[in-house]
Amino acid sequence: MTAPIEVTGSESEAQPEAVLAGMGGKVEGRSLGQIAWMRLRRDKVAMSGGVLVLVLILMAIFAPLLSSWFGHPPSEFHQDMIDPNLQRPLHGPWHSGVSAEFPLGVEPTSGRDIFSRIVYGARISLLIAFLATLLSVILGSTLGIIAGYFGGWVDTVIARAMDIFLAFPILLFAIALAGVVQGKVFGLSGNGLRIALLIFIIGFFNWAYIGRIIRGQTLSLREREFVDAARSMGARAPYILFRELLPNLIAPILVYSTLLIPTNILFEAALSYLGVGVNEPTPTWGGMLAQAVPIYSVDPWFMIVPGLAIFVTVLAFNLCGDGLRDALDPRTR
Amino acid sequence: MRRRTPLVAVGVALALALAACGGSGDSGGSSSGSGTFNAGLTTTVNQSTKTGGTLRIGNAGDWDNVDPADTYYGYSWDFIRLYGRALTMFKPGPGKEGLQLVPDLAQNLGEHSADFKTWTYKLKPGIKYEDGTPVRAQDVKYDVERTLDKSTFPNGPTYFNDFLDTKGYTSPYKDKTPGKLGLKAVETPDDTTIIFHLKKPFSGFDYFAMLPATIPVPQAKDTGANYKMHVVSTGPYKFESYTPGKSLNLVRNTNWDPATDPNRKQLPDRIQVQIGINADDLDNRLMAGSMDMDVAGTGVQAAAAARIQSNPNLKKNADSSPTARLNYISMSQSVPPFDNIHCRRAVQYATDKAAMQTAWGGPLSGGDVATHLLMPLIPGNQDINPYPSGPGNHGDLAKAKAELQQCGKPNGFSTVISARTERPKEIQAALAMQQGLQKVGIKTEIKKYPQGDYFKLYAGNPAYVKKNGLGLLSMSWGADWTEGFGFLSQIVDSRVIRDAGNTNLGVTDPAVDKLIDKATTTADDTARGAIWAQIDAKVMDGAWMVPFLDVKQLLYRPPNVKNAYVSQGLNGYYDYAQLGVK
Amino acid sequence: MVNFLIRRVLAAIALLIIVSMVTFAIFFLVPRLTGASSADLASRYVGKTAGPQAIHEVEVRLGLDRPLVIQYWNFVKGIVIGAHYNFGPSKVYCGPPCFGYSFVNQTPVWPDLLDRMPVTLSLAGGAAIIWLVFGVTTGVVSALKRGSPVDRASMGIALAGVSLPIFFTGLLSLAIFRDNLQWFPGAGTYVGLTQDPLTWASNLVLPWVTLAFLQAALYARLTRAGMLETMGEDYIRTARAKGLPERTVIVRHALRATLTPVLTIFGIDLGTLLGGAVLTEGTFSLPGLGKFAIDSINNNDLPRVLGVVMIGAFFIVLANLVVDVLYAVIDPRVRLS
């Protein structure tokens, strides 16, 4: 975690000359958001990261279309492409099964279309990561603001809670819970239950990271004059929290959310790799990697493709997050 | 921040290229030793009588227990003969000869009463423990008493609990009689005679006498659940040290007298077992020659299987060993529409057995497509095929659709297939089945359960099965010993069905039960074998189980190992009591 | 200072108690909430063909039929003063800390934990040294040479490092360096340090590098950001204005301010890893605490799971405590708050 950023520090007020020059001489006040957006636009690498993220999201949304245009149904077996004794694809470079019909080859043993499974796997990874991040951010920000603003025993309780959550070995708990929750809970069952459980585990156990940062930010913000001013005008706590403090915290919340998403993608991949992700035959990237483990010495392609998928996705989000952070606080470029 | 992504991309591409050029250029396997592929099935490979050396054994998993009263793994029953002798054992040697029982501690096979309820054995004279004290019949009785205590020793088989007339005896640890020999169902009138009193007749009791439960345990040295730390040996080797989960080391037992034991050899000086090593690592070591044997005997992993089958130098050291294990799908009669025989027959015809065979590893590493319950290893087996699966065994869709019409579901139906989470091959096979059934409109959802609880809480729990609609249950069953009773009794007898922990997942046919009773009272082996074949045919008639794989294990015997052969009696494992390294 | 120490130690103990309660709850309470009875729980630990009588006996032997609070109390008692266990013919005394006996094979849990600790310690310790040195150095150099090709290249690699899943990197390194190039044929089998130091080290090189690569990348980015922020502070400008040589400015002022938060995070990271680097140990099949945890969870072996989770939490809490105390030593304001 990088050091907390100052969003209203001296440096981020930008160099007025540069802004003026870019405007062609007209003098006009610019909001922080506009300044940040201008900086972001100039950062080519971050923009390409953003484009990549967009492509991935579209790929996930249009997975069924893509799969039917370029590949085969993700669960369909094609064992005629597989050597029954050696378990690996018969054709293609490096025994990958890559051909015009199967653009990314076929899986060993079952012969399922890798391209389709990758594209559908994006759905699981992105869905779980986004929703879990949302949960973390909502929980963490709310509790962080409350702790930072009210101080006293409220702060102590929430801060201790953060300590407790940070002390848990989250991976072990995720595995344990996933193994123990069966049947029907809250009307959900099967894969629906699994996905909800994963979102809950990843989101719930991670709130303390954001919580700590937001709490720190709130602590420093509440000493500012604008808060005093609001209070002296008779504003009550909810007003101050949501109308005064929150807008100033949007920037760090945004930045840390964008940095939390790739962490959650990796977390979901790890859980799928360990076998506690969603159920068969729904494809997940981590699950495909786990299946590749016993056979990678004869079919390395099947290990490389899902690993690369995870890598590229996480990289894209990291580039975005870095770019966003640099746009809001160029000191650390 | 510019231009770092191309660098990253180049670096990653380079790494991947290196990784992909792997696995080729095999230099494993030597060209020495006289072996050919599958030689171990019919001959003893690399015969030798030279003594010395250390036999290095690896186990990717762990024993359930090395204590004779508490073990149920096939390989454990094979290995335990190195440090324990039971009343009877399977005859050593490859081929069909290995299916016969011969006396071990006993002088002869059991003498029985006319009603098959009383069995008497006399012990051979002169057999001693590792410390020189003589073995007495009372010690055999003591171990049988220990196996009855399912609280201290929960893992072992329950044949003695089920057949002995225990009259409420639960455990030697609650026994107040002197010497703790209070079990009246087993008599020891003198130090060399032991008499068993059964409550139901059983003509195959010699098979029970083969179980590790009859390995003698001296009561004075018994420390209960801790006895496994040093089991007192009657075999050619004794414990030198045992660290559970890590290693087991055996050394020569100088008090083992080969004159009393023509069935074992004592060739290596030491036997060293490493427990819990990585399975792929174990295979690599076997092929490189730094490990001599994989004791678990379930065959090499997928990567090694591929290497072995594509490299003739490695393949000649391998045996594709048939076992008495069947992989099948059981249908639950409490879950509609499986209460209708035509719907069950539809599934029989539609199952893509060839795809499931590939999922399990193909013909050499997985097994043969099965068409009925018994397998070639079982004496009396009749090769029948009541539901042919079409050309290439991919399913006979026309016949399946016809059966669906007859059961009133012309467009198929929906159900659930259960499988065990820790068994990727089982899950792959379930997926293959899912695909096959889909072709006739039968839609399935796959549910995974942990293997530890599979029989207790899920597939083997009739209430759970009914409530959750588990129509198709993935199953794999290996015979306790290679004979009809040892294979079928726990899976087709309706009287073994209980509230939980079932292995008979849905066969309830009184006619089958009657035939089982007839078989257990038939003395003649051939006649008995014929009855088991009848039972096989009858259960297949009811279409309750879809057998799809007669499991074969691709075993590897390094060329420096001597006297390796596959024992049919021991269910397709190498006979560990014969091996040498010189 | 002593007051502060006492307060923190008490807080640490309270934390451990809470973690133990939550772990207990997950394994004992949640199954009940989703409908399992104590007989169902007990039936996991019996063999294939056990009947209801045997299941009941196992229930009693393992104490699963007692109320949860009693079971928890027995667990805590065992850790603090030891317990007696019935082995059949006699009772055995298990001294403190007694984490009980494995439900699956009746071996004592604590010696197993002790046995696995050196592996995890070797892995975490070795990797920690590598990543701290490489990560921090790279970060500092990058910050000082901001915008140069060195900076861009190292930040590029660092970005790749934090974007790669560790199990993928591990598998790749095994495929390339163990199987293909055969530089480290033994990677993945642990040989004790006292047995054979050379093999110990060579077998651990791949896991060390895999783990350290990921962590170093993180630390490089962290250090660079912190360094840049510090270098922009007013007091650095003042120091330079005073005429101090650049080296003194960097080493005595900037570095100290940068490294303090980095070391805090290092302490916590190390503490977490000591509880079991689950993914790395799983990928390389090292018999450490992480793999022990996964195997125990898969076997539902509750005493072992409780044991390994408690050890993990203990290390994390200890690391937190050490870091807090160090902070208090350095910064008097913390002591007095």
Asked if the model's pLDDT at residue B117 lies above 50, the reply is yes
- Interchain CB distance below 8 Å, C162 and A318: yes
At B240, the pLDDT band (50, 70, 90 cuts) reads very high
**Residues on chain C touching B65 (C-beta within 8 angstroms):** 105
Of C47, C61, C175, the CB nearest to B72: C47
Return residue ranges of chain C for CATH 1.10.3720.10: 112-336
Q: Give me chain A's average pLDDT, please.
A: 80
Residues facing B242 on adjacent strands = B248
- Interchain CB distance below 8 Å, C167 and A273: yes
C114 at interface of B, judged by CB pairs closer than 8 A:
no
Quick one: DSSP state of residue B214? Answer: G
3-state secondary structure of B481: coil
Q: Where are the beta strands (DSSP E) in B124-232?
A: 186-190, 193-197
What pLDDT, in 10s, does the model give residues B60-110? Answer: 888 889 999 999 999 999 999 999 999 999 999 998 999 999 999 999 999
Q: Do B152 and B226 touch, CB atoms closer than 8 A?
A: no
- For A94, the closest chain B residue by CA position comes to B20
3-state secondary structure of B49: coil
Per DSSP bridges, beta strands B573-574 and B566-567 are antiparallel
Q: Which pLDDT score, from 0 to 100, does residue B12 have?
A: 58
C153 at interface of B, judged by CB pairs closer than 8 A:
yes
- Interchain CB distance below 8 Å, C106 and B1: no
Q: Please report the ipTM that was assigned to this predicted complex.
A: 0.83
Of B89, B446, C102, nearest in space to A191 by CA: B446
What is the CB-side half-sphere exposure of residue B147 using CA atoms within 13 A? 30
CA separation for the pair B438, C167 (Å, rounded):
35
What is the CB-side half-sphere exposure of residue A88 using CA atoms within 13 A? 28
Q: Give me chain C's average pLDDT, please.
A: 81
CA separation for the pair B536, B374 (Å, rounded):
7
CA separation for the pair B511, C126 (Å, rounded):
67
Q: Do A190 and A279 touch, CB atoms closer than 8 A?
A: yes
CA separation for the pair A325, C222 (Å, rounded):
13
Q: Which pLDDT score, from 0 to 100, does residue A22 have?
A: 53
CA separation for the pair B470, B332 (Å, rounded):
7
CB-count exposure of residue A231 (10 Å: 0-12, 13-18, 19+): middle
What pLDDT, in 10s, does the model give residues A110-126? Answer: 888 999 999 999 999 99
Instruction: Determine which helix (DSSP H) or strand (DSSP E) holds B302, and give its type and residue range.
Output: helix B302-310
What is the CB-side half-sphere exposure of residue A156 using CA atoms within 13 A? 4
At A103, the pLDDT band (50, 70, 90 cuts) reads confident
- Interchain CB distance below 8 Å, B20 and A94: yes
At C129, the pLDDT band (50, 70, 90 cuts) reads very high
Q: What angle do CA A72, A74, A75 make, to 5 degrees?
A: 115
Asked if the model's pLDDT at residue B8 lies above 60, the reply is no
CA separation for the pair A108, A94 (Å, rounded):
12
**Residues on chain B touching C298 (C-beta within 8 angstroms):** 422, 450, 452
At A90, the pLDDT band (50, 70, 90 cuts) reads confident
Q: Which pLDDT score, from 0 to 100, does residue B319 have?
A: 94
Per DSSP bridges, beta strands B293-294 and B54-59 are parallel
Q: Which pLDDT score, from 0 to 100, does residue B51 have?
A: 93
Query: What is the token pair recorded at A108?
Result: 């060993």
CB-count exposure of residue A21 (10 Å: 0-12, 13-18, 19+): exposed
Across chain A, which distance is largest between two alpha carbons, in Å?
80
**Residues on chain A touching C226 (C-beta within 8 angstroms):** 2-3
C2-11 long-range CB contacts below 8 Å, 24 or more apart? C4/C328, C4/C335, C5/C325, C8/C321, C8/C324, C8/C325, C9/C321, C11/A160, C11/A163
3-state secondary structure of C257: helix
Of A163, A289, A331, the CB nearest to C168: A289
A186 at interface of C, judged by CB pairs closer than 8 A:
no
CA separation for the pair C20, C79 (Å, rounded):
12
Q: What percent of chain B has pLDDT over 70?
A: 94
Q: Which of B155, B217, B246, B490 to mutate to test the interface with C (most CBs of C within 10 A)?
A: B155
Torsion angle, CA of B225/B229/B232/B234, rounded to 10 degrees? 110
Range with the poorest average pLDDT among B27-36, B226-235, C112-121: B27-36
3-state secondary structure of C97: coil
**Residue A271 CB partners (closer than 8 Å, separation 6+):** A171, A174, A175, A178, A198, A202, A277, A286
**Residues on chain C touching B67 (C-beta within 8 angstroms):** none
- Interchain CB distance below 8 Å, A1 and C222: yes
User: Which amino acid would we find at residue C30?
Assistant: V
Query: What is the token pair recorded at C13?
Result: 């103990």
**Residues on chain B touching A78 (C-beta within 8 angstroms):** none
At A17, the pLDDT band (50, 70, 90 cuts) reads low
Q: Do B546 and B329 touch, CB atoms closer than 8 A?
A: yes
Q: Which of B309, B353, B435 to mutate to test the interface with A (most CBs of A within 10 A)?
A: B435
- Interchain CB distance below 8 Å, C168 and A311: yes
More confident residue, C110 or A18: C110
Its CATH architecture, for the domain A53-332, is Orthogonal Bundle (1.10)
Of B5, B154, B503, the CB nearest to C45: B154
CA separation for the pair A13, A6 (Å, rounded):
11
Asked if the model's pLDDT at residue B4 lies above 60, the reply is no
B7 at interface of A, judged by CB pairs closer than 8 A:
no
Provide mean pLDDT across the span A56-69.
90
Could you give the C-alpha distances from C242 to B23, C249, C250, in angstroms and in order?
Answer: 64, 10, 14
Cα C138 to chain centroid distance, Å, stands at: 25
Q: What angle do CA A175, A180, A181 make, to 5 degrees?
A: 105
CA separation for the pair B450, B430 (Å, rounded):
15
Per DSSP bridges, beta strands B101-103 and B88-90 are antiparallel
More confident residue, C108 or B260: B260
- Interchain CB distance below 8 Å, B150 and C88: no
CA separation for the pair A116, A104 (Å, rounded):
9
- Interchain CB distance below 8 Å, B446 and A279: yes
A10 at interface of C, judged by CB pairs closer than 8 A:
no
**Residues on chain A touching C146 (C-beta within 8 angstroms):** 333
CA separation for the pair B91, B78 (Å, rounded):
12
What is the CB-side half-sphere exposure of residue B120 using CA atoms within 13 A? 10
Query: What is the token pair recorded at B549?
Result: 């794989």
pTM of the model: 0.83
What pLDDT, in 10s, does the model give residues A258-282? Answer: 888 998 999 999 988 887 878 777 8
Range with the poorest average pLDDT among B108-117, B447-456, C80-89, C279-288: C80-89
Asked if the model's pLDDT at residue B545 lies above 70, the reply is yes
CB-count exposure of residue A190 (10 Å: 0-12, 13-18, 19+): middle
Q: Which pLDDT score, from 0 to 100, does residue A47 have?
A: 87
Q: Give me chain B's average pLDDT, please.
A: 88
- For C302, the closest chain A residue by CA position comes to A176
Q: Which pLDDT score, from 0 to 100, does residue A252 have?
A: 80
C147 at interface of B, judged by CB pairs closer than 8 A:
no
CA separation for the pair B156, B159 (Å, rounded):
9
**Residues on chain A touching B445 (C-beta within 8 angstroms):** 190
- For A271, the closest chain C residue by CA position comes to C279
Q: What count of other Cβ atoms lies within 10 Å of the Cβ of residue B469?
A: 15
Q: Do B180 and B172 touch, CB atoms closer than 8 A?
A: yes
Could you give the C-alpha distances from C259 to A135, B309, C251, in angstroms and in order?
Answer: 32, 56, 11
What is the CB-side half-sphere exposure of residue C57 using CA atoms within 13 A? 18
Q: Do C174 and C206 touch, CB atoms closer than 8 A?
A: yes
**Residues on chain A touching C23 (C-beta within 8 angstroms):** 173
Q: Which pLDDT score, from 0 to 100, does residue B81 have?
A: 95
At A171, the pLDDT band (50, 70, 90 cuts) reads confident
A73 at interface of B, judged by CB pairs closer than 8 A:
no
Q: Which pLDDT score, from 0 to 100, does residue A1 have?
A: 37
Instruction: Mark which residues 275-294 of C lie under 8 Å from B by CB.
Output: 285, 287
Q: What percent of chain B has pLDDT over 90?
A: 60
Q: Closest Cα of chain C to A78: distance in Å?
A: 26
Of C101, C7, C5, C18, nearest in space to C310 by CA: C18
Q: Which pLDDT score, from 0 to 100, does residue C40 have?
A: 66
What is the CB-side half-sphere exposure of residue A239 using CA atoms within 13 A? 11
CA separation for the pair A222, A218 (Å, rounded):
6
Q: Which residue has the tokens 């995974």?
A: B448
CB-count exposure of residue C329 (10 Å: 0-12, 13-18, 19+): exposed
Q: Which pLDDT score, from 0 to 100, does residue C330 have?
A: 67
Provide mean pLDDT across the span A296-308.
89
Residue A281: cis peptide before it, omega within 30 degrees of 0: yes
Per DSSP bridges, beta strands B318-331 and B472-478 are antiparallel
Topology of domain C112-336 in CATH is MetI-like fold (1.10.3720)
CA separation for the pair B421, A96 (Å, rounded):
27
Q: Which pLDDT score, from 0 to 100, does residue A262 have?
A: 92
What pLDDT, in 10s, does the model give residues A36-45? Answer: 777 777 778 8
Residues facing B197 on adjacent strands = B118
Q: Closest Cα of chain C to B569: distance in Å?
A: 22
Q: Which pLDDT score, from 0 to 100, does residue A333 have?
A: 55
Q: Do B398 and B388 touch, CB atoms closer than 8 A?
A: no
Radius of gyration in angstroms for the set of CA atoms belonging to chain A, rounded to a whole number: 24
CA separation for the pair C142, C134 (Å, rounded):
12
